[in-house]
Amino acid sequence: MSAQEAQQELLEEFEMFDNWMDRYQYIIDLGKALPDFPEEWKTAEYKIEGCQSQVWIRPEVRDGRIHLDAISDAAIVSGLIALLLRIYNDRTPQEILDTPPDFLNKLGLDKHLSPTRSNGLYAMLERIFTLAKAQ
C-alpha cells in the first residue's frame, strides 16, 4: 500500500466515528499499540524539540527505506505518532517527500488539537521530512 493509499484508508476509518471524543479515543488506542521503544533510545539525538510532551523518533535506513521507531510519554501524542507512522514508516525518502500530510486537514486534526499539540505534531512531521531529504 502506498503512502497516499494509507492516508485514504485512515480517512475512511475516521468516517466511522460520529464525534471527536470517539476519534480521540481511537487515536489514543492506536498509540497504545505502538511497538516497544527501548529506554536506551530515549536520547537527545532522537528527541523532538517543540513538543509539549516528551517525544522520541529513532530513524534507521533499511534497504533504501526509512524505518521509524517512535514514542511519547503522552497518550494522545503516542496516537498521533501512530498516525504518522502509518503514513510514513518504511517508505522511500522520495515517497515521503511526495506525500504531503493532507490527512491532517481532511481529518480536522488541525482544528481539534491544542496549539501546543499542533506544534508538536508539525515538529514530528518536520523531523520525518528532514530525514527523507537527508537521504
Amino acid making up residue 97: L
Question: Tell me, what's the pLDDT at 104?
Answer: 92
pLDDT single digits (tens) 122-132 = 999 999 999 99
Q: What are phi and psi of 108, to 5 degrees?
A: 85, 15
* Domain made up of 3-134: CATH architecture: Alpha-Beta Complex (3.90)
Rounded CA gap, 88 and 129, in Å? 9
Is the separation of the CB atoms in 132 and 66 below 8 Å?
A: yes
Question: Tell me, what's the pLDDT at 51?
Answer: 75
Q: How do strand 65-72 and strand 55-62 relate by DSSP bridges?
A: antiparallel
Q: What are phi and psi of 57, to 5 degrees?
A: -130, 120
Question: Tell me, what's the pLDDT at 115?
Answer: 86
Confidence of residue 114 (pLDDT cuts 50, 70, 90): confident
51 is catalytic: yes
Residue from 54, 109, 65 nearest 83 by CA: 109
Which residues 6+ apart lie within 8 Å of 59 measured at CB?
66, 67, 68, 131
pLDDT, mean of residues 78-102: 97
pLDDT single digits (tens) 17-76 = 989 999 999 999 999 999 999 999 999 999 998 878 999 999 999 999 999 999 999 999
pTM as predicted: 0.95
Which of 3, 6, 30, 51 is catalytic? The answer is: 51
Question: Tell me, what's the pLDDT at 50?
Answer: 82
